[in-house]
């Protein structure tokens, strides 16, 4: 596709971060164009209750993450001009906890 956001470092990206980036891109694109989210949070992260004694099994799932490796494409978009795409993707990149790169 025309434009993409590529990860440069490994990380766990939460479902909230993915959604925040997607919404930021849509807000900046106004209308027109299409977005593809290329990652999916399929790994549950469990956590215990605060001040719980040891034992009695594993904690309940707290949130879900997508495991990101360097070089993975996070978002793709097409159908818009390059300067709008650059602006939208840079806003989405600021929502990510890792260094990223704009690809065209």
Which pTM does this prediction carry?
0.87
Q: What is the pLDDT of residues 9-53, one digit of tens each?
A: 999 999 999 999 999 999 988 888 899 999 999 999 999 988 888
**Local confidence band at 60 (pLDDT 50, 70, 90 cut-offs):** very high
- Domain boundaries along the sequence of the chain: 3-47+60-103
| C-alpha to C-alpha distances, 88 to 1, 2, 17, 53, nearest whole angstrom | 16, 13, 15, 46
Is 40 in a helix, a strand, or coil? Answer: coil
User: Cβ(53)–Cβ(1) under 8 Å?
Assistant: no
pLDDT at 31: 80
* Architecture label for domain 3-47+60-103: Alpha-Beta Complex (3.90)
């Amino acid at each position: 596709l025309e434009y993409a956001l590529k990860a440069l470092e490994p990380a766990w990206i939460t479902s909230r971060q993915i959604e925040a980036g997607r919404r930021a891109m849509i807000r900046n694109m106004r209308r027109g164009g299409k977005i593809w989210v290329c990652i999916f949070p399929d790994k549950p992260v469990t956590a215990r209750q605060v001040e719980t004694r040891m034992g009695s099994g594993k904690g309940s799932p707290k949130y879900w993450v997508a495991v990101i490796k360097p070089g993975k494409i996070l978002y793709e978009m097409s159908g818009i001009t390059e300067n709008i795409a650059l602006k939208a993707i840079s806003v989405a990149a600021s929502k990510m906890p890792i260094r990223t790169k704009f690809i065209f």
